[in-house]
Amino acid sequence: MEIERTMVSRRWVIKTLSCLACAIPISGLASTLHAQAKVSKEQAAYQDKPKGDQSCSNCAHFVPPRACAVVAGDISPDGWSKYWAAKK
């Protein structure tokens, strides 16, 4: 009976450690993929000046002070890209 308890305990430890070993790289991969989900300025046709009355400062994707949820890199509030969307 004592041996059986030890076996169950070892099995539990091995399962738990293997789950943790998998979970840590997966969470790291998820954050890496999330970070890479942004498109480049070139892909977004980003420019440092507004397009008409459209600018990053009045775009729904703008993240003050100088970031964007869609486009990677330093984003000017006065910039613009093809992903511009009106704030709701």
Interface residues toward ligand SF4, by CB under 6 A: 44, 46, 56, 59, 61-62, 68, 70-71, 75, 79-81, 83-84
Q: If residue 70 lies in a helix (H) or strand (E), which one and from where to where?
A: none
Best CA proximity match to 70, nearest among 42, 46, 37: 37
Nearer to ligand SF4, 19 or 55 (CB): 55
In whole angstroms, the minimum distance from the beta carbon of 81 to ligand SF4 comes to: 3
Nearer to ligand SF4, 2 or 53 (CB): 53
Cβ proximity of 80 and 46 under 8 Å: yes
In whole angstroms, the minimum distance from the beta carbon of 34 to ligand SF4 comes to: 16
**How many CB atoms within 10 Å of residue 46?**
21
